[in-house]
């Protein structure tokens, strides 16, 4: 086998190894805004990776908290503070939307919005 054939074989082997290392994951955020439901937060935000909940925020606690040990170990306090600020902003937006809906329709509503990462 000459060096060209050997190089081609190495490239093929590397490609096969890399192609098996590549995987896809899904990231979703679920936002739920409610009004008029006793003992239930007016706003809840969940982060979900591959169908597994990774974090949680609600309008009562006003903090994003990890729901998986690996998330708590991987991300530092700056990350959780940034995510908390984003969730507070989303909460304000959704509460404004609920106020508009209530004003227009005079009903209790539940709004659920799902975002892909």
Q: Please tell me what DSSP assigns to residue 59.
A: T
Give the pLDDT confidence of 31-78 residue by residue, as tens digits: 998 888 889 999 999 999 999 999 999 999 999 999 999 999 999 999
pLDDT of 100 reads 82
pLDDT of residue 97: 86
pLDDT at 117: 59
Q: So what's the pLDDT on residue 6?
A: 53
Asked if residue 24 has pLDDT above 90, the reply is no
pLDDT, residue 5, reads 55
pTM over 0.75: no
Q: Average the pLDDT over 84-109 and give the result.
A: 84
Give Cα separations from 101 to 34, 58, 89, 93 (angstroms). Answer: 11, 21, 19, 13
Please give the CATH architecture assigned to the domain spanning 25-116. 2-Layer Sandwich (3.30)
The answer to whether 116 touches 31, Cβ cutoff 8 Å, is no
Average pLDDT over residues 10-27: 61
Q: Pick the most confident of 8-22, 70-84, 102-116.
A: 70-84
């Amino acid at each position: 086998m000459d060096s060209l054939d050997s190089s081609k074989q190495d490239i093929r082997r590397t490609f096969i190894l890399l192609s098996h290392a590549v995987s896809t994951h899904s990231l979703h955020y679920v936002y739920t805004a409610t009004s008029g439901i006793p003992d239930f937060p007016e706003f809840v935000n969940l982060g979900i990776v591959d169908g597994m909940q990774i974090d949680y925020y609600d309008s009562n606690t006003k903090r994003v908290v990890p729901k998986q040990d690996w998330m708590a170990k991987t991300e530092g306090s700056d990350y959780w503070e940034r995510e908390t600020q984003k969730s507070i902003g989303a909460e304000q937006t959704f509460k404004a939307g609920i106020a508009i809906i209530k004003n227009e329709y005079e009903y209790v509503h539940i709004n659920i919005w799902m975002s892909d990462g």
